[in-house]
């Protein structure tokens, strides 16, 4: 029996934004190690497709429509899941979007959507679920989706990058709060490096400034050429979660390099500088 099966099998997992990408990968892997997975997404069609694929493979899954940008939706999700299942062993706050464009050109609606989904979706996911998780007793796990971008900067991806810096800081503080409260809830920061997902697909950029599709295509092509297989990356995430790690990454060398660059930048109090590799994408 693997450590993932030992820790998670038989429990209930809730994954937000699980209709595609990393959320979908998480849902499939958690089901594979024996969990009942609540697959949530803003699109009911996408959520049900993933849940059906899990069931067809012999796993247990159900779909729910949830818009994480609305705190009341997360309250409803937590209430519904706990009333039905009684306990949640794993919560993966995954839902997120990428937004491209100069800060002053991104429409207010897209700015608000990015911050509400990427930051507030995670904050209010924890706020809604933690009281129930504390009452249920026993070990539980919360995984918040950060990014390799949590430790760097990238112009024209400003809204996404700043949101992931915020998620990293939030997860670190939440981890300490669990220690202070002596709660049996393990908090981790999930740090994808480069995985093959649909986050940079052109149709995901609705509401972005004109011309952002060129940057999207460059990033998508790079991910498809050099990215890690989605299921392989999510298997790494789940294993490291089961090992109670805080830093849960897909490509440790990439994480290490990003963190070391950030440390050097801050220690030397340097001016922000755009790497040549990044410049080529813009």
**pLDDT for res 273:** 85
Residue 204 pLDDT class (50, 70, 90 cuts): low
Q: Please identify which of the residues 102, 160, 175, 265 carries the catalytic annotation.
A: 160
Residue 114 pLDDT class (50, 70, 90 cuts): very high
Domain spans, the chain: 3-279
Tokens representing 199 are 């986050």
Q: Is the pLDDT of residue 20 over 80?
A: yes
Q: Is the pLDDT of residue 35 over 80?
A: yes
Instruction: Read off the pTM.
Output: 0.94
Is residue 160 among the annotated active site residues?
yes
**pLDDT for res 153:** 93
Which stretch of DSSP H or E encloses residue 28?
Answer: helix 21-32
Percent of the chain at pLDDT exceeding 90: 83
CATH no. for 3-279: 3.40.50.720
Tokens representing 70 are 């609305």
How buried is residue 153: exposed, middle or buried, by Cβ count under 10 Å (0-12/13-18/19+)? middle
Tokens representing 206 are 């609705």
What is the tens place of the pLDDT at every residue in 49-74?
A: 999 999 999 999 999 999 999 999 99
Q: Is the pLDDT of residue 215 over 80?
A: no
Give the 3-state secondary structure of residue 191.
Answer: strand
What is the tens place of the pLDDT at every residue in 160-175?
A: 999 999 999 999 999 9
Tokens representing 178 are 């669990």
- Say if CB 11 and CB 33 are below 8 A apart: no
- Give me the DSSP letters along 201-242: -GGGGTTPPTTHHHHHHHHHHHHHHHPBPHHHHHHHHHHHHH
Looking at 191-195, 214-218, 229-233, which range is the least confident one?
Answer: 214-218
């Amino acid at each position: 029996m693997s450590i993932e099966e030992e820790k998670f099998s038989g429990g209930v997992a809730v994954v937000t934004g699980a209709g595609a990408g990393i959320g979908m990968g998480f849902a499939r892997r958690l089901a594979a190690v024996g969990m009942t997975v609540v697959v949530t997404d803003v699109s009911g069609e996408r959520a049900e497709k993933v849940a059906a694929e899990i069931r067809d493979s012999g796993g247990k899954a159900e779909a729910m429509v949830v818009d994480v940008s609305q705190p009341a939706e997360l309250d409803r999700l937590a209430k519904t899941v706990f009333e039905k299942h009684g306990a949640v062993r794993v919560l993966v706050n995954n839902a997120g979007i990428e937004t491209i464009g100069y800060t002053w050109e991104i429409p207010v609606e897209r700015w608000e959507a990015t911050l509400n989904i990427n930051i507030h979706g995670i904050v209010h996911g924890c706020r809604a679920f933690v009281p129930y998780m504390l009452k249920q007793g026993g070990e539980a796990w919360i995984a918040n989706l950060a990014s390799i971008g949590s430790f760097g900067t990238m112009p024209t991806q400003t809204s996404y990058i700043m949101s992931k810096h915020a998620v990293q800081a939030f997860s670190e503080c939440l981890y300490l709060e669990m220690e202070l409260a002596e709660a049996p809830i393990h908090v981790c920061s999930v740090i994808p490096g480069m995985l093959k997902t649909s986050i940079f697909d052109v149709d995901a950029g609705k509401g972005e400034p004109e011309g952002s599709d060129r940057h999207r295509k460059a990033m998508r092509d790079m991910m498809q050429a050099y990215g890690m297989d989605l299921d392989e990356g999510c298997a790494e995430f789940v294993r490291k979660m089961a090992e109670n790690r805080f830093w849960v990454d897909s490509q440790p060398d990439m994480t290490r390099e990003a963190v070391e660059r950030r440390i050097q930048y801050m220690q030397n109090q340097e001016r922000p500088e755009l790497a040549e590799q990044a410049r080529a994408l813009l």
